[in-house]
Structure 1
Amino acid sequence: MWHPVGELPARVYWRRRLVVLIVLLGVLGGAGWLGFTLLAGRDDDAAASDASRPLPEPALARVVPSLSAVATPDPPPVTPAAAAAQAAAPAPTAGGSCTDAMLALEVRTPRTAAVGSKPTFELAVGNVSAVPCVRPLDKNLQEIVMFDAAGTRVWGSNDCFPEATVDARTLAPGEVVTVPLVWSGLTSEPTCTAERVAPAPGTYVLRARLDTKVSPDATLALE
């Protein structure tokens, strides 16, 4: 094959083979270029089609509506009655009755006392408003009650020696009135018929009352 035999010179056969090879290469190259052109044109058409097609809506947007589409209800109108209810409470009248909100009530103790002794407690009533006011400090409206650690009532100031007096006080703004009360050091109950004994050592709670006003708790340790 590589050594042509014939009547013509060998270079003639080599030229023919070279021409055939060039033609063959040209045909193959043209076919390849044509295929590449067709594929490139198809890709361009697909890209143009995708660009003109609208983007699909995200899955989340199909589930959760846009906030701009959500209508917010208008607040209800404020009626005159509602406006009056929202208005601040009127200021207290000077010289009027002292309401519970205008008073501070406190029971004061010596903190510690010996079992069986007779400590003195104080009922402190103060006007915390900005105007003077009147409050009855009648003895029958005052009371101090003692409880043990379990919450059991141990003693009350009105159990055995109730008093009835009339004592209306005008309290100036910031004024504090203290009423002393001596405890006998013994237990009691409202009918004052049970045996009265000295409470056992321990910590006790005292709570004061002036009619409907109740004080915070104070402690007394009996030793």
Structure 2
Amino acid sequence: MLEPTGPLPPEIYWRRRMLAIGVAVVVLVLVVWAVSSIGGDESPDTTAAAASSSLTLPSAASSTSVVDTGEPGSSGGGSGSGSDSSETSTAAGTPTSAAPVAPGQCPDQSLAIKATVEQPTYQVGQEPVFGIVITNISPTPCERELGAGLQQAMVYTIDGQVRLWSNIDCFPNPESRIQQLKPGEQALFTVKWSGTTSQPECAGDRAPVAPGAYTVIAQLGALRSGPEPFNIA
């Protein structure tokens, strides 16, 4: 470094140089701080924007409620009977065509239907007894045609592929029965099966079914229950 020259003592010039260097350092520090501050302000915004753009809102969950009609009780609606001594074998499980619901009557969505079996196993020669339970599952009372001609108990093979019998194949009943059901009220009907096959309009021969496992399905118009298993031993 050059020695200071001039009319003043060298110490003065050295002090001036040190002061200038100190000022330069301070200015440099301020510049660096300003640049870093600007960069720091932009970075969080960018990060926040990225996080916001990647946020996924959960979709609303759908819930589904299942109505359990339960077993028929003594407080159920009116009971009717459709005793069978006719049964039939029919080709694979093709649903029976149903008449439309009359205007002003309970729609199918307001009703639940269930098939019941009086006992799980019957001996060959015994007549199984089935129940058709119709429940008003809506919050309001309504009426529905429950005539025996619209109620069906149908026996199928255990795999559900072949219909063996229906209570209206050989004994159709055109009787009308319009019944009002309060919310939660049940109407119970019983059907007795002779244990033989049948076909629509009682066509063909009727033969006793062999021992084995079977199911019964209840139907009211277009409303069908799930299969209820039983055995013939």
**Which of the five TM-score ranges fits, normalised by the shorter chain?**
0.5 to 0.7
Residue number in structure 2 paired with 1:112: 121
Cα distance, 1:129–1:55 mapped onto 2, change above 3 Å: closer
Residue number in structure 1 paired with 2:151: 142
Deviation at 1:121, TM superposition (A): 0.9
How far apart in 1 are the matches of 2:150 and 2:143? Answer: 14
Aligned 1:145-184 pairs, distance under 5 A:
145-152=154-161, 153-184=163-194
1:102 to 2:84 alignment: no
RMSD in angstroms over aligned alpha carbons? 3.7
How far apart in 1 are the matches of 2:181 and 2:26? Answer: 97
Cα deviation code 1:81-122 (max 9, x no counterpart): xxxxxxxxxxxxxxx623323333222102222244211112
The aligned amino acid for 2:209 is A
Cα distance, 1:156–1:36 mapped onto 2, change above 3 Å: farther
**Do the aligned partners of 1:145 and 1:155 also contact (CA within 8 Å) in 2?**
yes
How far apart in 2 are the matches of 1:159 and 1:219? Answer: 21
How many residue pairs align between the two structures? 166
1:50 to 2:58 alignment: no
**Do the aligned partners of 1:116 and 1:186 also contact (CA within 8 Å) in 2?**
no
Structure 2 spans left out of the alignment, 5+ residues: 1-14, 54-103
**Do the aligned partners of 2:158 and 2:229 also contact (CA within 8 Å) in 1?**
no
Percentage of pairs with the same residue: 25
Deviation at 1:181, TM superposition (A): 0.8
TM-score, scaled relative to structure 2: 0.55
Deviation at 1:199, TM superposition (A): 3.4
**Do the aligned partners of 1:105 and 1:125 also contact (CA within 8 Å) in 2?**
yes
1:222 to 2:204 alignment: no
How far apart in 1 are the matches of 2:204 and 2:113? Answer: 30
Tell me the secondary structure at the aligned position of residue 140 of structure 1: coil
Structure 1 spans left out of the alignment, 5+ residues: 1-32, 69-95
Residue number in structure 2 paired with 1:121: 130
How far apart in 2 are the matches of 1:55 and 1:173? Answer: 70
- Bigger Rg, which one: 1
TM-score, scaled relative to structure 1: 0.57
**Do the aligned partners of 2:140 and 2:182 also contact (CA within 8 Å) in 1?**
yes
How far apart in 1 are the matches of 2:184 and 2:48? Answer: 64
The higher relative CO (CA closer than 8 Å, separation ≥ 6) is in 2
Q: Which of 196, 206, 211 does residue 200 from structure 1 map onto?
A: 211
Cα distance, 1:179–1:40 mapped onto 2, change above 3 Å: same
Cα distance, 1:62–1:206 mapped onto 2, change above 3 Å: same
How far apart in 2 are the matches of 1:117 and 1:36? Answer: 120
Deviation at 1:173, TM superposition (A): 4.7
How far apart in 1 are the matches of 2:27 and 2:182? Answer: 96
The structure with the largest helix share of the pair is 1
How far apart in 2 are the matches of 1:46 and 1:222? Answer: 100
